[in-house]
């Protein structure tokens, strides 16, 4: 089957991309609301962008009524946010946090999630996530109604239980222990599964 992407509607293109660009990492993003509560939402158009300086990109669409999402508004107003890498046990609350809610109504409070301090940010992180980044907004670029957010990584949290050492004594993160969620199409996610190791050429 060959599909001419130029013939597809926006919804059809989205469906094809989200079912074929797989698995995608999910950024579970915490931002600060105007009333000092916290907004929390997942985004799977997300990835690492550069390592010098360390940067990520995050694509944020609009709400069903076409307005700016709280995550984008908060990032652009406050210039900071926290990205969490959710694991298998967090799949249900992470998915529930994608629901459209009134402005300043906190998904963190709704889901009863615990928070803890995050060095490098005035915002807290989710206490039960094994990986979190303190992010600083760099710039936003628009592609039609999609906001492509670029951000610097100021601080990284890694749960000690998922770390080890490699043969040279360097810090190593055990991906199977992290058990990150990968986004597939629809309501489907992909767990860590079997680890495949292939030696890279010198």
Convert the pLDDT of each residue in 159-200 to its tens digit.
999 999 988 889 999 999 999 999 998 888 888 777 777 788
Q: What domains can you pick out in the chain, each with its CATH number?
A: 23-187 (2.30.110.10)
CA 137 from centre of chain = 14
Q: Average model confidence (pLDDT) for the chain?
A: 93
> What is the Rg, in whole angstroms, of the alpha carbon atoms belonging to the chain?
18
When pLDDT is averaged across residues 24-43 and rounded to a whole number, the result is 96
Whether the pLDDT of residue 53 is over 90: the answer is yes
Question: What count of residues does the chain have?
Answer: 202
Classify residue 168 as exposed, middle or buried by CB count within 10 Å of its CB (0-12, 13-18, 19+). Answer: exposed
Q: What is the pLDDT of residue 5?
A: 93
pLDDT reported for residue 185 = 87
Task: Tell me the pTM.
Answer: 0.92
């Amino acid at each position: 089957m060959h599909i001419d992407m130029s013939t597809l509607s926006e919804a059809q293109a989205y469906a094809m991309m989200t079912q074929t660009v797989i698995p995608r990492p999910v950024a579970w993003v915490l931002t600060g609301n105007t009333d000092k509560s916290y907004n929390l939402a997942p985004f799977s158009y997300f990835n690492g962008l550069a390592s010098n300086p360390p940067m990520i990109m995050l694509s944020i669409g609009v709400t069903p009524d076409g307005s700016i999402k709280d995550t984008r508004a908060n990032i652009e107003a406050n210039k900071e946010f926290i990205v969490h890498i959710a694991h298998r046990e967090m799949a249900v609350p992470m998915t529930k946090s994608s629901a459209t809610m009134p402005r300043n109504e906190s998904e963190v409070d709704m889901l009863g999630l615990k928070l803890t301090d995050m060095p490098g940010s005035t915002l807290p992180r989710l206490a039960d996530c094994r990986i979190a980044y303190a992010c600083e907004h760099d710039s936003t670029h628009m592609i039609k109604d999609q906001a492509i957010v670029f951000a610097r990584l100021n601080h990284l949290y890694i749960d000690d239980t998922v770390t080890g050492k490699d043969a040279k004594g360097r810090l190593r993160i055990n991906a199977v222990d992290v058990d990150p969620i990968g986004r597939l199409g629809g309501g489907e996610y992909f767990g860590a599964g079997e680890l495949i190791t292939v030696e890279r050429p010198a």
